[in-house]
Structure formats: structure tokens, C-alpha cells
Amino acid sequence: MNNEQFEPTIIGFTCNWCSYRAADLAGTARMKYPPNIRLIRLMCSGRLDPTFVFKALTNGADGVMITGCHPGECHYLEQNYKALRRFHLIRRTLQGLGVEPNRVKLVWASAAEGAKFTNEVKSFVEEIRALGPLNWGGAGGNGHRVETQIPEEVPA
Amino acid sequence: MSDKPKFAMYWAASCGGCEIAVLNIHEKILDVDANFDVVFWPVAMDAKYKDVEAMEDGSILLTLFNGGIRNDENEHIAKLLRRKSKLLVAFGSCANEGCIPGLANLSPVGEIVTTAFNTVSTDNPNQIYPRTSFDTPEGEIHIPTLYPRLKTLDQVVDVDYYMPGCPPESHQIAAVIDLVVQVLQGKAQLPPKGAVIGAGTSTVCDECKRTRHVKTITSFKRIFGQPIDPSLCLLEQGIPCNGIATRDGCNARCPSAGAQCIGCYGPAEGVVDYGARLITGFASVIESNDPDQIDRILDGIPDPTGQFYRFNLAGSLMKAGVSAWKKEKV
């Protein structure tokens, strides 16, 4: 596939108290960012179960962006640090599984940082576009599949 | 042939430890013989596939199927036994979630074959590799074809019950046989289809006798090379113990013996992805908020994939290598 025509599908997890509002601010301020990202609101980046990331990647997402409050500013005191540690461990595990760790990105964005949020989305979309489609598990990437498909057998 | 209910056991891609575990139930094996007619069990008795094919559909009451689906023979027998059995049990970790054979999903088939037939330790000067079909004067003979990845039993056929463990503990096997015998005598009812039998619903930590406090980990260590407190939680001491996400049912055998849980009983009830749950747990107890220090602490887990998916790779969400090996032609 020609990478210039490839439009990645990206799942973004946002925190209710900061990055979701940053995305809101970007919207009300008419800032533009690529439509490749689908945002899912969590109450906190600490709510992010790594299962969500793996499920997104196996169901057609090409990248996952985890966003949360800046260190020290978590609404729930220090859950964003847990997200930070999980992020590190997710990347290491993905590397072992043969997935480029850069397909998962962690961004801190406060409610006032609509511009930072749009810039991070823009640059992440370009990074994933450069990496190419993940196409893990043969899923179509329409975002509605629950079960991953098992590929046809090929003779050894 | 007696009119006793029929019992079968089969091994696909597995080590044979599950069969040993079944025989390890001691005198209970006599109950199996008293209540069942063993019709097919390649490890224990002589039987031909065509004998099974000749049986009526659904004529075997209970089939314990251990091993993953790695080649076309495995798949053929899995489908055959599914057709012939009323109750098909995914028995042991391989059939449930891939287990150790499932770790080969991290490598393409070509690499696996090369490792087996042409490495430093294997003398193969003429580069002889197995072929799936071969012409002899008596006719063409076939050996099973390797699949690009190992599948769990329920990725291939419909499974009635799941019995985890590598291997399932003998007292759990005995309990399950007791249950089936009671069902046959009308004294008990079968659990709902799809249930996990012969195991608990909580985690290994629930059965573990070690004392626990708030965990604050500043470094991960190997189990050897330093003194280990025999009564304190292993994870608290920095030993990466998988008990926090692993299903109970083994009486916390490894932690009681001074070794960390490696997760052979698979994910605890309600856990979708075993490794993801462990990542959540381990990340939560690391005592550092500094990215560089977190990185240094995580260096203590040199192989996170092996740590989190040792038994669970083929059954995990990522399943390992699906897209990469799909295109492969060896």
C-alpha cells in the first residue's frame, strides 16, 4: 500500500478532567486536527486497562494515543503516574510481540492545551502513517468487530 | 463392548504431562475404569483413528482434549472428537490458552523448522528437512502439515468445559471425575456450558499463605542469588510473581514451595487478557514516578512477553504474530 494514501485509524484515550477538555477546547476554538483519531473518554488515564490498548490494536487500530493530566496534576492525586508505568510496560511487551512500540504514545495535556493536543494528534498521525498499517489479526479496522479473525492456514 | 459411558483422551501439541497428571490421581483411576469404557486414549492404549471415525456421532460421553492445534492432524482429530463427543473438555493449559507450545507463535514456521533440524546442536550436513508428502514404491505417504501458528482448542471447535493448569492438579482432576460420576448417578448436575471446571474463581494470592502488605517495588529480582523471606509475599520482595492475575485451584503450590507463580492456571475469572492484567498490577506497585527510574526498574523484567504470556500467548488478545506469519510461505 502506498503510505501517502494510507489513512491510519487511531484510538485516543482521554481523561475527563484534562485532555478531553483540551480536545473540547480545540473544537470550540475551531482548531483543526486530522479525523483519524477516535477519542474515548475515561474518567482518568489511570482507568486505562492495557486490555483496551491490545483490544484496539487487534481490532483494526494502527495506533493508540493515551492522554492524561500533567504529572502532579492528576484529579485523583497520582493515577496518571500509574498510566505512565503501564505505558512503559505496554511498549516493552508490544516490542516482544513484534509490534512497533511507537504505535502507542503517551501525551500529557491540560484542559487549557487545545493547541498542544491538536499538534500531538497531527504529529502522531504522521508517525503512524510512516509506520504503515498494522493490520493485526486480519480485522478490517471498521471499529465494530469484537472477535478477531483467525487467518487461513498456509502449508509449512 | 460394555454399555458403560465412553471416555476418550487425546493429546495434540502438548508434552504429555496432562496424561501423567490423569494417571497421578492414584486409585481414582479405578473409578474411571469402573464407570467408563475407555475407547480412545493414544498414550494408554492402542486405537486407530478409523475406529473413532466408525463410532456413532455423540457416542463418547466425555473427551479430555489436551494440547493446542499446531498441525492438520491435530485439527482433524479435534473436529472428529468434537463430532463424536457429548462433552468436550479443553484439558490443560495447551488446549485452553496455548501454553509453552504457543510461545512458538512468536517465530515464523521456517524459523521453527530450522531450529529443530539445522542448528549448531543438530548435525544435518545434507540439509534434510521433513516433507509433508513423499513417494515410496508402496504409494505416497503423508506427515502432518505445520500451521503458521498454534491455535487453542476453542479457536478451532466448540468447547463445552475448560479445565486449566499445566498440568491440572491431580486433586482437581479427581474432583471433576467424582462430579461426572455423580452426574451419571443422578446425584449432581453439570455446570453450565462454557464453565471453567476443576479450578477456583479467584486468584492464586487468595490461596497463598504468605503475608501481604502494601507493595512498593524499587527493583525486580530473580528468584535466586539473594535471600528470600519464606513468609513474606514474593512480589513485595521484588520477585515478579504472577499470582495476582492467575486463577486459583492449585493451592498456591509454587509460592508455598518458595518459587514465584508463573501463571499456569491461566487468567482469573473475568480477565480478558492475562498479560494486560499483569501489566496493570505490576505497573501499579512500582514505587517511582520518574520515567528514567521506571525504565531502570522495568529492566528487571528482561522478557516482558515471556513473563506475562508464558502460558497465555496463543489465547491472548494479540495472539502473537498473526499478521506477520499469515503472509509467510515456507
pLDDT at residue B126 in the model: 85
**Which pLDDT band holds residue A152 (cuts at 50, 70, 90)?**
low
**Which pLDDT band holds residue A93 (cuts at 50, 70, 90)?**
very high
Does residue A48 belong to any structural domain of this protein? yes
Contact criterion met (CB < 8 Å) for A85 and B272:
no
Contact criterion met (CB < 8 Å) for A50 and B280:
yes
Mean pLDDT score of chain A: 86
Does residue A55 belong to any structural domain of this protein? yes
- Does the pLDDT value for residue A148 go beyond 50? no
Does residue A91 belong to any structural domain of this protein? yes
pTM: 0.88
| Alpha carbon of A20: minimum distance to chain B alpha carbons (Å) | 22
Mode of pairing for the β-strands spanning B133-136 and B139-142: antiparallel
Residue B223 to residue B259: CA distance in whole angstroms: 7
Residue B195 to residue B209: CA distance in whole angstroms: 27
pLDDT at residue A153 in the model: 54
| Alpha carbon of B190: minimum distance to chain A alpha carbons (Å) | 28
Q: Does A38 touch chain B if contact means CB atoms closer than 8 Å? A: no
Cβ-based contacts of B133 with chain A (< 8 Å): none
Rounded to an integer, what is the distance from CA B232 to the centroid of its chain? 29
Cβ-based contacts of A156 with chain B (< 8 Å): 109, 113, 132, 145-148, 330
Class at the top of the CATH hierarchy for domain B1-199? alpha beta
Contact of B69 with B75, CB cutoff 8 Å: yes
Q: Does A57 touch chain B if contact means CB atoms closer than 8 Å? A: yes
Does residue A145 belong to any structural domain of this protein? no
Which of A31-40, A90-99, B98-107, B122-131 is the least confident region?
Answer: B122-131
| Alpha carbon of B187: minimum distance to chain A alpha carbons (Å) | 38
**Which pLDDT band holds residue A124 (cuts at 50, 70, 90)?**
very high
pLDDT at residue B31 in the model: 87
Determine how many CB atoms are found less than 10 A away from the CB of residue A96. Answer: 18
Q: Backbone phi, then psi, for A56, in 5-degree steps?
A: -60, -45
What residues of chain A, 59 to 98, have a C-beta less than 8 Å from chain B?
A: 71, 78, 81-82, 84-86, 88-90, 92-93, 96-98
DSSP strands (E only) in chain B? 6-11, 37-40, 60-66, 69-71, 85-91, 133-136, 139-142, 146-151, 161-163
Tell which wins on pLDDT, A91 or A136. Answer: A91
Query: Which residues of chain B register pLDDT less than 70?
Result: 1, 320-330
Does residue A16 belong to any structural domain of this protein? yes
Three-state secondary structure call for residue A108: strand
Alpha carbon distances (Å) from B137 to B134, B140, B142, B172, B235: 10, 8, 14, 50, 62
- Does the pLDDT value for residue A134 go beyond 90? no
Q: Does A145 touch chain B if contact means CB atoms closer than 8 Å? A: no
CATH of residue A123: 3.40.50
Contact criterion met (CB < 8 Å) for B323 and A136:
yes
C-alpha cell at A70: 500533567
pLDDT at residue A136 in the model: 74
Does residue A134 belong to any structural domain of this protein? yes
pLDDT at residue A81 in the model: 95
DSSP state of A153: P
Contact criterion met (CB < 8 Å) for A90 and B279:
yes
Nearest C-alpha neighbor of A116 from the set A107, A104, A127, A126: A107
Task: Strand A63-68: give its sheet, edge to edge.
Answer: A37-42, A10-15, A63-68, A104-108
Domain boundaries, chain B: 1-199, 204-299
- The fraction of chain A above a pLDDT of 90, given in percent, is 74
Task: List the domain range (segments joined by +) for residue A17.
Answer: 10-138
